[in-house]
Amino acid sequence: MNSLKTMYKELGVSEEVFDFCEKIAEDLTDRFAKIDETAEYNQLKVIQAMQKNKLSEAHFSPTTGYGYDDIGRDALEATYADIFHTEAALVRPAIQCGTHALAIALFGNLRPGDELLSPVGRPYDTLESVIGINPTPGSLAEYGVTYREVNLKEDYSFDYEGIKAAINEKTKLVTIQRSKGYATRPTFSVEQIGELISFIKGVKKDVIVMVDNCYGEFTERIEPTDVGADMAVGSLIKNPGGGLAPVGGYIAGTEKCIENASCRMTCPGLGREVGPTLGLNQAFFQGLFLSPTVTAGAIKGAIFAANIYEKLGFNVIPNSVEPRYDIIQAVSLNSPEALCAFCEGIQAAAPVDSFVKPEPSDMPGYTDQVIMAAGAFVQGSSIELSADGPLRPPYAVYFQGGLTWDHAKFGIMMSLQKMVEKGLVKLS
């Protein structure tokens, strides 16, 4: 009666899909135990930082106006600095998203005549405008900051010779993106990033290294700032907000880099001293507290999907057995019908807007139509279960998130259910 199978059936998952998925989930037990261990370690790291900063109810009180003497904001930033093992941090609702945080870190620390280097190929799409790779009003290029990039080698390893040749007297800041984002290269481990940083600092000691840490937080026991990065930067509506932060971004780094960034975040002279938190501190702290387990649930969902779709013959990146350093999963579904069915399933399993059917549509900045599924409590939140993909071969869906493993599992089962119903895959 109240068996899992019956409950899933009531929600639209057939017995055939349930049995197929349940078998795969069972085989992942040992792997999931390792992920839980990482979450446990990071949970303790977060609690340790909160205790060290004597977090108390007083820190949750809202400030308004200038936000002078906001003790909650100061404690939050000190807590982030302790987790990332940095001298300082900025964690603010006034940082609108990950791109904004990255832009603040870059503009705050670069000056006219300086050069920015990406030694890992083209950065995330939205940074092209910030850097001025696409001519854009207000870009770094307009302020006389030049840009250079060195692509990864064909086997996705670092092109050390090329990187050495690209570093020159103007090179001031190096940006390294941890997650693959929407590229096809693998995501770098923190250890790999550490090797790259050592090499770069060996060539030029005083260069600033910034890591775009989006989607990577708490997937490992260490963060890029533990291996020499001067700044780690990310979004609070991804991993570290734990699904509870309704907005925000963070930069954790050296005192000097954070001071420079803060003068760009507000303005020279005001820096970190202003910034009302408007009652959001509790959500930021509580989301951070939940983040290690939320991130673990999202990684489990990604691995579960990789195993299901690889077994059915689809190309999955990362594959079913590779180690994970972020929460993103790509599946090449090979047809527009399968891509749409997948997204319909994710949407149908959502707690919010489950009754909506996602449709492909034109998007500004994209040449092909894009389909997106998201039924989130926070708009655009990608730590919540979401999926999207452009309607072009190989019809790859990129998906990530799930505030709980159980929801991620249900969403993926529904994606398969829709594909089975439409005759796009056969389970036996």
| Site residues (vs ligand PLP, CB under 6 A) | 97-99, 124, 126, 177, 179, 181, 212, 214-215, 235
Residue for token digits 């820190």?
59
**Residue closest to ligand PLP (Cβ):** 98
Nearest approach, Cβ of residue 145 and ligand PLP (Å): 19
State the SS3 of the chain. Answer: CCCHHHHHHHCCCCHHHHHHHHHHHHHCHHHHHHHHHHHHHHHHHHHHHHHHCCCCHHHHCCCCCCCCCCHHHHHHHHHHHHHCCCCEEEEECCCCCHHHHHHHHHHHHCCCCCEEEECCCCCCCCHHHHHCCCCCCCCCHHHCCEEEECCCCCCCCCCHHHHHHHCCCCEEEEEEECCCCCCCCCCCCHHHHHHHHHHHHHHCCCCEEEEECCCCCCCCCCCHHHHCCCEEEEECCCHHHCCCCCCCEEEEECHHHHHHHHHHHCCCCCHHHCCCCCCCHHHHHHHHHHHHHHHHHHHHHHHHHHHHHHHCCCEEECCCCCCCCCCEEEEECCCHHHHHHHHHHHHHCCCCCCCCCCCCECCCCCCCCEEEEECCCCCCCCCCCEEEEECCCCCEEEEECCCCHHHHHHHHHHHHHHHHHCCCCCCC
Residue 101 beta carbon to ligand PLP: minimum distance, rounded to whole angstroms: 8
Residue tagged 């007083």 (tokens): 58
- On whether the CB atoms of residues 289 and 44 are closer than 8 A, the answer is no
CB of 98 to ligand PLP, least distance (A): 3
User: Least distance in Å: CB of 206 to ligand PLP?
Assistant: 25
Q: Quick one: 70 or 230, whose CB is closer to ligand PLP?
A: 230
In angstroms, give the least distance from the CB of 268 to ligand PLP. Answer: 24
CB-nearer residue toward ligand PLP: 98 or 358: 98
Which residue's CB is nearer to ligand PLP, number 79 or number 99?
99
Least gap, CB of 236 to ligand PLP (angstroms): 9
- The CA distance from 108 to 205, in Å, is 20
Compute the residue count for the chain: 428
Q: How far is the CB of 222 from ligand PLP (least distance, A)?
A: 18
Shortest reach from residue 218's CB to ligand PLP, in Å: 15
Least distance from C-beta 179 to ligand PLP, angstroms? 4
